[in-house]
């Protein structure tokens, strides 16, 4: 449905987006991750045809966004950054306007507006002016606008920005549910969101794609993935660390935290994935030494760690531009 | 067919936007009060004993100088400030449809304001026997003049996200359009740059508007105002395209 080929955007000497390519099929939810200023919004603006790319092209459902903009634009709904909406209109007026521009008339328009009002819980503010809405309602109004024509493609720039935890959860559930039938791209810098809603993740840094895979695949790249965390009472930290590191199949061990009699420690396996043996070995070691084992679990790996390891080191080497 | 529907939807939104706030009503009242003041107090319509609206239309270029930019300043500046431009232009509409829809809505609003000056016509018709053709012609001219200024305001509105800057730019350009043919300015130009004088004078709205005031419906005057509108709206589309590519 969405095909992005070698997209480049330069602003003066700066390459804001530098050779981004990917595809998204129906039934996929693609999470677009990256630090602020990485080029997420610029990429999305190019996909929606708001700004023309310097190089490369975007094909939506077979239509080139630059060459055949109207046909391509019919296929998607777009939630821009900060959820803009006309402040001088009521929610109802705004949704009607969006429906009209989507070519809906009469009964079909009425039905479409009714459907999104229900879906986004907007009944209570339907006749309220947009500038009196709270941020959450304004966001949902703009979201409703994006799905009013039940598009095959949904593109959202930070759809949960500024929402409270309940609303975030609602939006994520909505995205996940709609993702079964649509091709969805959304950008975010909230990592739990990616785990909750995405089937695939792309991490972009300074205009380039630095990682592309399922959330599970990315998590496995984490140093933490496969590590065994233990909480033990009745043994000193140094002894514990030494004994754990000496285990067969352990690469290294570290102390996470020491608190009076209780020690939190972590053992990293030599080969990630072959951790069953190591878990047993840790258990047997505890029995043999007579430690009181209070907790033992295998870490899945954390996306935030992967994210940091991919995006931070290089940015630290390069001093920020003097401009 | 489809593009007409889009233009209509955009124009409708823009018009309801005007009336959603009290600004539209304040504008209408202000416009009518000023019109009355200029016509009856400064124009001395009653004392003249002439059954014509010459002294009513006479002031319009100056009146519009401030009032039309006030109507046009929000058209694009507000879209840019709110970020709704991104929303509007990623809908299946072309930027031309958006430009034309917005322009027509504001022009219709100005037409409404102009139509509400009908008591002046009634007054003159009751007191004397004015020439209907001249009055109709004057109204057409005034409407076209307002459209010309409005297209300029539309253009300056796209240049900035600040309505005040848009207003000032628009007033300056419209003032140039008025003064370009003014004799003192022309005298100066003839001495300083004789070749330029003719060119500058041809931009002036006053000579073209005066024809309408006298009741002469000349196609050249109509074409002048229409081409001013097309030119300014074309400039608007170029500016919008630049906003989208650059930034």
| Residue-wise pLDDT tens digits, B151-192 | 999 999 999 999 999 999 999 999 999 988 788 888 888 888
Q: Does A321 have pLDDT greater than 50?
A: no
Say if CB A75 and CB A153 are below 8 A apart: yes
Predicted local distance difference test score (pLDDT) of residue A171: 85
In a shared domain, residues A84 and A130: yes
pLDDT of the residue at B98: 95
pLDDT class for B55, splitting at 50, 70, 90?
A: confident
Nearest Cβ partner for B90 among A49, A82, A129: A49
pLDDT reading at A68 higher than 90:
yes
| Closest residue of chain B to A45, computed from CA coordinates | B86
Statement to judge: residues A235 and A199 lie in one domain: no
Q: Tell me if A52 is assigned to some domain.
A: yes
Q: Are A203 and A254 part of one and the same domain?
A: no
Burial of A134 (0-12, 13-18, 19+ CB in 10 A): exposed
The pLDDT of A89-115, averaged and rounded, is: 94
Q: How far is CA B165 from CA A88, A311, B155, B210, in A?
A: 21, 41, 12, 30
Q: What is the nearest CA distance from B90 to chain A, expressed in angstroms?
A: 6
Q: Is residue A214 part of a domain?
A: yes
One domain for residues A179 and A251: no
For the cut 90, the answer to whether the pLDDT of residue B45 exceeds it is no
Q: Name the region of B29 (left: φ>0; alpha: ψ -120 to 50; beta: rest).
A: alpha
Measuring CA to CA, how many Å separate A76 from each of A61, A66, A83, A95, A153? 10, 15, 16, 16, 4
Residue with tokens 């033992």: A296
DSSP label of B43: S
Q: What is the DSSP string of A212-224?
A: EE-HHHHHHTSTT
Find the domain containing A256 and state its range. Answer: 228-298
Q: Tokens 């001219």 identify what position?
A: B141
**pLDDT tens track for A194-251:** 888 889 999 998 889 988 888 888 877 777 777 888 888 877 778 888 888 888 778 8
Contact A84/B6, CB-based, under 8 Å? no
Return d(Cα A15, Cα A13) in angstroms, integer. 7
Answer yes or no: do A216 and A163 share one domain: yes
Higher pLDDT among residues B132 and B51, named by residue: B132
pLDDT(A158) > 70: yes
Higher pLDDT residue, B155 or B46?
Answer: B155
Half-sphere exposure of A10 (CA within 13 A, CB side): 6
Whichever domain contains A52, its CATH number is 3.40.50.300
Q: Closest-CA residue in chain B for A77?
A: B91
Please give the pLDDT value at position A172.
87
Q: Is A250:A278 a contact under the CB 8 Å cutoff?
A: yes
Q: Which of A50, A132, A146, A149 to mutate to test the interface with B (most CBs of B within 10 A)?
A: A50
Percentage of chain A lying above the pLDDT 90 cut: 41
Cβ contact B247:A11 at 8 Å: yes
Q: Which of A202, A220, A238 is the last residue of a domain?
A: A220
Q: Which residues lie below 8 Å from residue A260, measured CB to CB, with a gap of 6+?
A: none
Residue A200's region, left for phi above 0, alpha for psi from -120 to 50, else beta, is: beta
Per-range mean pLDDT, top range of A105-119, A261-275, A291-305: A105-119
- Provide the 8-state DSSP code for A267: E
When divided into structural domains, chain A yields a total of 2
User: What local confidence, expressed as pLDDT, does residue B53 receive?
Assistant: 85
pLDDT at B82: 92
Please report the number of interchain residue pairs, chain A to chain B, with beta-carbon separation below 8 angstroms. Answer: 74
Is the model's pLDDT at A276 over the cut of 90?
no
**pLDDT band at residue A318 using 50, 70 and 90 as cut-offs:** very low
Average pLDDT over residues B57-86: 93
In this prediction, what percent of chain A has a pLDDT beyond 70? 95
Q: Could you tell me if A47 and A30 are in contact, meaning their C-beta atoms sit under 8 angstroms apart?
A: no
Residues above pLDDT 90, as percent of chain B: 60
Q: C-alpha B168: how far from its chain's center? A: 15
Beta-carbon separation of B13 and A97 below 8 A: yes
Q: Flag whether pLDDT at B50 surpasses 80.
A: no
B247 to chain A nearest CA, in Å? 7
The whole-number pLDDT of residue A269 equals 82
Q: Let me know whether A237 and A213 are in one domain.
A: no
Which sign, positive or negative, has the C-alpha torsion A164, A167, A172, A173?
Answer: positive
Of A108, A44, A49, residue with least CA distance to B92? A49
Region for residue B49 given its phi and psi (left: phi exceeds 0; alpha: psi -120 to 50; beta: otherwise): left
* pLDDT over 90 (residue A190): no
> Any idea what the CATH number is for the domain that residue A264 is in?
3.30.70.3100
Per-residue model confidence (pLDDT) at position A197:
86
* Residue B247, pLDDT score: 52
| Interface probe with B: pick from A74, A86, A156, most Cβ of B within 10 Å | A86
Instruction: State the DSSP string of B72-96.
Output: HTHHHHHHHHHTHHHHHHTSS--HH
pLDDT band for position A274 (50/70/90)? low
Domain boundaries, chain B: 2-245
> What's the whole-number average pLDDT of chain A?
86
Chain B partners within 8 Å of A69 (Cβ): 94
Say if residue A238 is in the same domain as residue A164. Answer: no
Average pLDDT (A157-174) is 85
**Cα–Cα distance between B247 and B245 in angstroms, integer?**
7
Arithmetic mean of pLDDT, B120-134: 88
User: Is residue B127 very low, low, confident or very high in pLDDT (cuts 50, 70, 90)?
Assistant: confident
**Could you tell me the end-to-end alpha-carbon distance of chain A, in angstroms, rounded to an integer?**
39
Rounded distance, CA A9 to CA A18, Å? 7
**A174/A257 same-domain check:** no
A26 inside domain? yes
**What contacts A238, CB < 8 A, 6 or more positions away?**
none
Q: Which residue has the higher pLDDT, B195 or B77?
A: B77
Chain A nearest CA to B7, separation (Å): 9
Angstrom CA distances, A154 to A25, A29, A80, A139, B124, stand at: 12, 9, 11, 15, 61
| Final residue in a domain of this structure, among A220, A239, A261 | A220
Specify the pLDDT at position A272.
66
- pLDDT on residue A167: 83
Strands A153-157 vs A183-188: parallel, antiparallel or unpaired: parallel
Percentages of chain B per state (helix, strand, coil), in multiples of 5: 85, 0, 15
- Please check whether residue A313 lies inside any domain of the structure: no
Answer yes or no: is A322 within a domain: no
Q: Which helix (H) or strand (E) holds B153?
A: helix B132-159
- A175 and A257 inside one domain: no
Res. B101 pLDDT band, cuts 50 70 90: very high
Same domain, A155 and A285: no
Interchain CB contact of B23 with A (< 8 Å)? no
Task: Work out the average pLDDT over A257-280.
Answer: 79
Query: Is A319 a residue whose pLDDT tops 70?
Result: no
pLDDT in the model for residue A135: 87
What are the start-end ranges of the H helices in A148-298? 165-178, 191-197, 215-220, 237-245, 276-289
Shortest Cα distance from B139 to chain A (angstroms)? Answer: 31
The tokens describing A280, both together, are 């047993």
Nearest residue on chain A to B84, judged by CA atoms? A84
Same domain for A193 and A245: no
State yes or no: pLDDT of B1 exceeds 60. Answer: no
Q: Cβ atoms within 10 A of the Cβ of A212, count?
A: 15
Same domain, yes or no: A239 and A200: no
């Amino acid at each position: 449905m969405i095909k992005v080929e070698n997209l480049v955007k330069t602003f003066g000497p700066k390459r804001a987006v530098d050779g981004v390519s990917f595809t998204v099929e129906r039934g996929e939810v693609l999470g677009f991750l990256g630090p602020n200023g990485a080029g997420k919004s610029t990429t999305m603006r190019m996909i929606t045809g708001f700004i023309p790319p310097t190089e490369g092209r975007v094909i939506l459902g077979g239509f080139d966004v630059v060459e055949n903009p109207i046909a391509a634009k019919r296929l998607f709904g777009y939630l821009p950054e900060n959820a803009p909406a006309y402040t001088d209109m009521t929610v109802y007026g705004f949704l009607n306007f969006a429906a009209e521009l989507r070519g809906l008339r009469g009964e079909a328009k009425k039905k479409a507006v009714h459907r999104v009002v229900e879906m986004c819980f907007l009944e209570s503010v339907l006749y309220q002016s947009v500038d009196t809405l709270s941020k959450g309602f304004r966001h949902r109004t703009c979201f409703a606008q994006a799905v009013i024509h039940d598009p095959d493609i949904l593109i959202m720039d930070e759809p949960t920005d500024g929402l409270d935890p309940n609303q975030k959860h609602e939006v994520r559930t909505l995205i996940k549910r709609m993702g079964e039938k649509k091709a969805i791209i959304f950008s975010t810098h909230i990592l739990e969101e990616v785990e909750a809603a995405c089937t695939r993740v792309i991490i972009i840094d300074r205009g380039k794609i630095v990682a592309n895979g399922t959330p599970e695949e990315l998590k496995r790249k984490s140093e933490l993935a496969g590590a065994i965390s233990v909480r033990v009472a009745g043994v000193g930290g140094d002894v514990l660390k030494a004994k754990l590191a000496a285990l067969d199949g352990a690469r290294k061990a570290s102390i996470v935290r020491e608190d009076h009699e209780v020690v939190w420690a972590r053992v990293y396996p030599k080969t990630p994935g072959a951790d069953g043996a190591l878990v047993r070995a840790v258990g047997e070691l505890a029995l043999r030494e007579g430690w009181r084992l209070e907790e033992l679990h295998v870490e899945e790996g954390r996306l935030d760690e992967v994210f940091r390891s991919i995006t931070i080191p290089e940015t630290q080497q390069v001093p920020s531009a003097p401009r | 067919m489809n593009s007409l529907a889009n233009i209509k939807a955009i124009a409708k939104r823009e018009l309801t936007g005007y009336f959603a706030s009290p600004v539209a009503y304040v504008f209408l009242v202000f416009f009518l009060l000023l019109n009355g003041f200029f016509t009856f107090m400064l124009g001395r319509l009653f004392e003249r004993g002439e059954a014509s609206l010459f002294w009513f239309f006479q002031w319009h270029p100056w009146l519009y100088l401030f009032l039309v930019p006030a109507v046009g300043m929000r058209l694009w500046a507000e879209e840019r400030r709110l970020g709704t431009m991104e929303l509007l232009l990623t809908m299946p509409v072309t930027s031309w449809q958006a430009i034309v829809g917005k322009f027509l809505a504001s022009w219709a609003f100005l037409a409404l304001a102009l139509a509400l000056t009908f008591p002046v016509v009634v007054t003159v018709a009751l007191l004397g026997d004015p020439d209907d053709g001249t009055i109709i012609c004057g109204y057409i001219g005034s409407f076209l003049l307002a459209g010309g200024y409005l297209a300029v305001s539309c253009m300056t509105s796209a240049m900035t996200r600040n309505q005040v800057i848009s207003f000032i730019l628009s007033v300056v350009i419209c003032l140039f359009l008025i003064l370009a043919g003014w004799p003192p300015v022309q005298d100066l130009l003839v001495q300083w740059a004789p070749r330029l004088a003719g060119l500058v004078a041809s931009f002036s709205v006053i000579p073209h508007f005066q024809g309408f005031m006298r009741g002469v419906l000349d196609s050249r005057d109509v074409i002048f105002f229409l081409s001013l509108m097309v030119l300014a709206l074309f400039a608007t589309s170029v500016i919008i395209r630049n906003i989208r590519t650059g930034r």
